[in-house]
Amino acid sequence: MIFFMADKVRKESQEKNLKEPDSKLALPSLTEIHLQSLKSLLQLLLAEVEFLENLTPRTPTSNGETPLARHLEIIEIELIRNALHETEGNQARAAKILSLRPNTLLNKLRRLGIDPRLFVRPAQSGDSKR
124 lies in some domain: no
- Number of domains observed in the structure of the chain: 1
Ordered DSSP codes for 29-88: PHHHHHHHHHHHHHHHHHHHHHHHHHHS-----TTS--HHHHHHHHHHHHHHHHHHHHTT
- Top pLDDT among 87 and 39 is at 87
112 lies in some domain: yes
126 lies in some domain: no
48 lies in some domain: yes
103 lies in some domain: yes
Q: In which domain, by residue range, is 40 found?
A: 30-57+64-119
127 lies in some domain: no
101 lies in some domain: yes
Query: Tens digit of pLDDT for each residue in 51-77?
Result: 666 665 555 666 666 778 888 888 999
Q: Is the pTM of this model over 0.85?
A: no
23 lies in some domain: no
Answer for the pair 9, 33: CB distance below 8 angstroms, yes or no: yes
Q: Is a pLDDT exceeding 60 seen at residue 84?
A: yes
Query: Tens digit of pLDDT for each residue in 8-38?
Result: 555 665 565 555 444 455 667 878 888 888 8
How high is the pLDDT of residue 48? 76
What integer is the mean pLDDT of 82-86?
A: 92
Ordered DSSP codes for 24-41: -PPPPPHHHHHHHHHHHH
